[in-house]
Amino acid sequence: MISVLQRVREARVDVEGQTIGAIGAGLLVLVCAERGDTEVEADKLLAKILKLRIFSDDAGKMNKSVQDIAGGLLLVSQFTLAADTTGGNRPSFTQAAAPDEGRRLYDYVVAQARKAHPDVATGQFAADMQVHLVNDGPVTIPLRMAPLAG
């Protein structure tokens, strides 16, 4: 699974002019399931997201996690993170999970996040979303949890 974390002061997702998910300070997380991903990669990704120390402590050092600061999580599905741009000027998305599998894994990540963290908001899978954010820092971190080679 691939994700991009953005430390935000606030973020929201709108669909058809309506806000469907919003947080204050915390993490906006763009999430993409790739072919071959399972719940194992999803669990590893979520564990890393929740524990990654990218928020400032009292000394101004990145030493606190989103859980430490009781920040929000805004989870947004984004299959375009799987883009392959090596073959020309038009990206290929063949590495992205099939839509049904992508939805299943995204829903799984959301459900697990809600069990582990008190402030979780979401986008809408496969919708035309407008994502608004105030990036804090800016701090933007890519994460990838690859399936084990079999």
The burial of 72, by beta-carbon neighbours within 10 Å (0-12 exposed, 13-18 middle, 19 or more buried), is given as buried
| Cβ(30)–Cβ(94) below 8 Å | no
Catalytic, out of 80, 93, 94, 130: 80
CA dihedral for 6, 141, 129, 97, sign (positive or negative): negative
Gap between the Cα atoms of 44 and 50, Å rounded: 10
Q: Which of 6, 79, 112, 122 is catalytic?
A: 79
Q: Catalytic: 79?
A: yes
Q: Which residues pair with 11 in a beta bridge?
A: 23, 133
* Active-site residue set: 78-80
